[in-house]
Amino acid sequence: MESKAAVLTLSALAQDTRLAIFRLLVTAGPAGLVVGRIGETLGVAPATLSFHLKELTHAGLITARQESRFIHYSANYAAMNELLAFLTENCCGGMPCGVASTVQANGACC
Amino acid sequence: MESKAAVLTLSALAQDTRLAIFRLLVTAGPAGLVVGRIGETLGVAPATLSFHLKELTHAGLITARQESRFIHYSANYAAMNELLAFLTENCCGGMPCGVASTVQANGACC
DNA sequence: TCCATATTTCCATTTTTATAGAAATATTGG
DNA sequence: CCAATATTTCTATAAAAATGGAAATATGGA
C-alpha cells in the first residue's frame, strides 16, 4: 500500500459518521446492508449518507452491490487489513521488539 | 476504545505529513527522534511540524521526552494497537469468518 | 407506460484543517 | 547571567470537508 492510498483510507475512516457506517458494515458481515437501513440505523440524511458512502467506496473500504431496486453496501475486509499492515510496517526498523504486542500475524514486530 | 477517540486517532493519521512523521517514528523505535531531525528528514517548516506533532501527541499516537535541550518524540505502539483492535472489533457480528484473514491475534475474526 | 420508492447529484453555506512567517519561550553550555 | 540553539505559540490566510434541502435519476412492480 502506498502512503497516498493510506491517507485516503484513513481520511475515510476519520469521521464520526463514516466510522459508524464502516463499523456497522463490519458487524453486518459480507451480506451488507441497504442504504436506507444504514440511514435509519444511524440517523443520517439521505444526501449526507450518500456523500459518505461515496467517500468510503472511493477509499475502497466498502463495496456496493445492486440487488433489485436496493443497493447493498458491505465492508471490504481486505482493504482494512492492508491498512493495518501498512501502519505497522517496518516497525522498529524491522528489529523484533516486545512493545505492546497484540497484533503479530501480519509480520509486524509490535 | 471509544468511537470518539478512534476518530481522533484516525484523524491524526489521515494527513500526509502526520502519517509520514508517525511512520518515521515507528521505524525509529522506542528511542525516537528529535524534532529538528524529523523536520529535516521530511522537509517540514518548524511551525508546521510543531502543529502536527501536537496533533499526534493529543491523539496519543506519539510521546514527547525531554533530554537535554532536545525533545525526542517516539511512537506509542500501544495506541496504534488499540486502534487496530477497534477497527476489527465485532467483525461479522462476532461469527468466525474467512474473509481476507491477515490479522488474527487481536481476537478479530477476519 | 406510469407510479412509487431508493439513491444520488447539485448547490450554497458553514465549519474545520493546513500552512508558514515572525515573535515568543525554554533550556543549557559557557 | 548571557548567548546560542531548539521548539512552540501567535496570527493571518488559503484550502478542504461536512451538511442537508431540493431536484434529478434509476429501478421494478402494477
User: pLDDT tens per residue, chain B (110 residues)?
Assistant: 789 999 999 999 999 999 999 999 998 988 999 999 999 999 999 999 999 999 999 999 999 998 888 999 999 988 988 888 888 776 666 656 544 344 444 444 44
**A2 burial type by CB count under 10 A (0-12 exposed, 13-18 middle, 19+ buried):** exposed
Disruptive mutation site among B16, B56, B110 for chain A (greatest number of A CBs within 10 Å): B110
Disruptive mutation site among B3, B4, B13 for chain A (greatest number of A CBs within 10 Å): B13
Give the distance, in angstroms, between residue A83 CA and nucleotide C30 C1': 50
The per-residue pLDDT for B34 is: 96
The per-residue pLDDT for A89 is: 74
User: Can you list the domains of chain B with their CATH numbers?
Assistant: 3-90 (1.10.10.10)
Bridge pairing between strands B70-75 and A70-75: unpaired
* Contact flag A92-B29 (C-beta cutoff 8 Å): yes
Closest-approach residue (CA) in chain A for B61: A87
The per-residue pLDDT for B99 is: 45
Strand C: which bases are under 7 Å from protein Cβ?
5-10, 17-23, 26-29
Taking C1' of C18 and every protein CA, the nearest residue is B48
Which residues in chain A come in under a pLDDT of 70?
90-110
CA angle in degrees (0–180, nearest 5) for A34-A12-B89: 70
Return the H-helix or E-strand segment holding A108.
none
Identity of the amino acid at A54: K
The per-residue pLDDT for A88 is: 75
The per-residue pLDDT for A69 is: 82
How many other CB atoms are there within 10 angstroms of residue A107's CB atom?
A: 12
* Residue B108 cell numbers, joined: 478479530
